[in-house]
Amino acid sequence: MGILNNKGKPKHKRPCRHIGKPLTALAAVLCVAIAPIASANMNVIDVSGWQSADVTRVVDADAAIVKITEGGGYVNPSWRSQTDWARQTGKACGGYHYADGGNVTAEVNHYLNQFNGYVGQCVLALDWESNGNAAWGNGDWVRQWVNQVYSRTKVWPIVYVQDSAVYQIPSDVRAHCMLWKAQYASMNATGWQSTPWNAGSKGEGMVQYASTGYLNGVGPLDLNLFFGERDAWQKIANGDRGKTNAEVRHDPVRPQVTATPDYNDMATKVIRGVYGNGNERRQALGGAYDRVMAIVNQRLGGGSTVSAPANTNCGSVCVTVKSGDTLSTIAARNGGSWNQYTGYRSGNPNIIYAGETVCRRGTGVARQPVSNTYSTHRYTVRSGDTLGGIAAYYRVNMYSIHGYRSGNPALIYPGETLYW
């Protein structure tokens, strides 16, 4: 999932008290405030498209929630494999939609048109975060989304939100829909925790307490604690569909035709990197690919340059950001360290936009871009590695190491190649 103030996420945004009744005592609609009972809890991972297609197979968990869609266009290309592997390995399943805050009906349609075959089997979920969300702060958007999902499926979805924004979820939504809260005690690597910090403080039915989990040698992973057992989870997944076998349970979820795509909005998301690159982007955009890319190319003027614009007064090297760039990849191509570059309008080094100009601080003659093919050392990241640990082992400055796609030295992924 995305970047959140209290969630502490770099893809994506703490418990002590344990009081209340076990979640298994709830009726079919599980949406009221529940605090954890240690003996009745499930360990849950949530995953998205940047992770492997079989991550839910190789990780030991009780349940897995998979990112299915985002906004009105993006589809996680691995969602079906990730969901099926979870089920085939005996895990409870769920699938979430990441809200972009656009047309509510279009986002509901997009989600259910993908996930309709799993309704009644897997928990439905809305991921409500600030990053890239045009409706952030508008609780009525959440209300409309969950009500439309229920109208289509007879299942109330659960709602994910960071601790500091729980107030955005309207009381009538919480009366129906279980709260899934995100709050981290730290960004330290961790395994499963039975009593995460501040769990249950907002009456949530599940807490996401880490984005730096490592399990079975795999990580980083989002780790969650669900305050209930398998039957409670399945009651949420089944919702009201079991009330009448003849009319409700066997009433299929009928995909609806989505409204005319907003190609300009999709182009904006391409530039932001939402749809990834190469085949991943082509698959996500589907039949809209050519039209959207034409808009993208028109906006970006056909490419990028490394020379500084005439009216830009900045450091020794100025670069126009390309889709897919991070400050680390820019530094690797053009010299210097990622933290020497300034000028990105977000003010966050993890968020840069295609088309804007970033400059490396310093004076003197601008050096030409360099290719990583000239680096003297290469290293493939393994599970459990940290940039500081790699730097210490090879006795180099960690800020001279490049190639991590997050742009954040605290977040490197197994399988990516670093060089210095």
pLDDT in tens, 75-111: 999 999 999 999 999 999 999 999 999 999 999 999 9
345 pLDDT exceeds 90? no
Q: What is the pLDDT of residue 278?
A: 67
Q: Return the closest-CA partner of residue 165 out of 126, 136, 207, 204.
A: 136
Q: How far is CA 56 from CA 12, 210, 233, 241, in A?
A: 18, 17, 17, 27
Average pLDDT over residues 363-384: 53
Q: What is the pLDDT of residue 261?
A: 65
Q: What is the pLDDT of residue 219?
A: 87
Average pLDDT over residues 322-331: 79
Q: Which residue bears the tokens 């970033």?
A: 358
The token pair at 389 is 């640990």
Q: Return the closest-CA partner of residue 69 out of 112, 23, 12.
A: 112
Average pLDDT over residues 114-118: 93
Domains and CATH numbers, the chain: 23-249 (3.20.20.80), 263-300 (no CATH), 317-419 (3.10.350.10)
Helix-, strand-, coil-residue percentages of the chain, each rounded to 5: 35, 20, 50
Q: 73 or 244: whose pLDDT is higher?
A: 73
Q: What is the pLDDT of residue 242?
A: 59
d(CA 50, CA 6): 22
Q: Return the closest-CA partner of residue 97 out of 162, 172, 46.
A: 46
Rounded to the nearest 10 degrees, how much is the dihedral formed by the CA atoms of 58, 75, 211, 177? -110
d(CA 129, CA 299): 27
35 pLDDT exceeds 50? no
> CA angle, corner 103, sides to 100 and 106, nearest 5?
95
Q: Are 69 and 51 in contact (CB under 8 A)?
A: no
Q: 233 or 323: whose pLDDT is higher?
A: 233
The token pair at 388 is 């500081």
405 pLDDT exceeds 60? yes
16 pLDDT exceeds 60? no
257 pLDDT exceeds 60? no
Average pLDDT over residues 299-311: 42
220 pLDDT exceeds 80? yes
Q: Which amino acid is at 129?
A: E
d(CA 321, CA 303): 9
2 pLDDT exceeds 60? no
Q: Are 115 and 95 in contact (CB under 8 A)?
A: yes
Average pLDDT over residues 294-309: 54
Q: What is the pLDDT of residue 277?
A: 65
Q: What does the pLDDT look like over 149-205, one tens digit per residue?
A: 999 999 999 999 999 999 999 999 999 999 999 999 988 888 999 899 989 888 999
Q: What is the pLDDT of residue 135?
A: 92
Q: What is the pLDDT of residue 22?
A: 34
Average pLDDT over residues 202-229: 91
Secondary structure of residue 339 in the 3-state scheme: helix
Q: What is the pLDDT of residue 399?
A: 65
- How many other C-beta atoms lie within 10 A of the C-beta of residue 90? 9
> CA angle, corner 312, sides to 307 and 316, nearest 5?
55
Q: 273 or 322: whose pLDDT is higher?
A: 322
Q: 1 or 220: whose pLDDT is higher?
A: 220
Is the Cα dihedral 278, 281, 287, 290 positive or negative? negative
Buried b (16+ CB within 10 A) or exposed e, 392-405: eeeeeebbebbbbe
* Lowest pLDDT segment from 185-194, 225-234, 361-370: 361-370
Secondary structure of residue 174 in the 3-state scheme: helix
Is the Cα dihedral 124, 47, 163, 405 positive or negative? negative
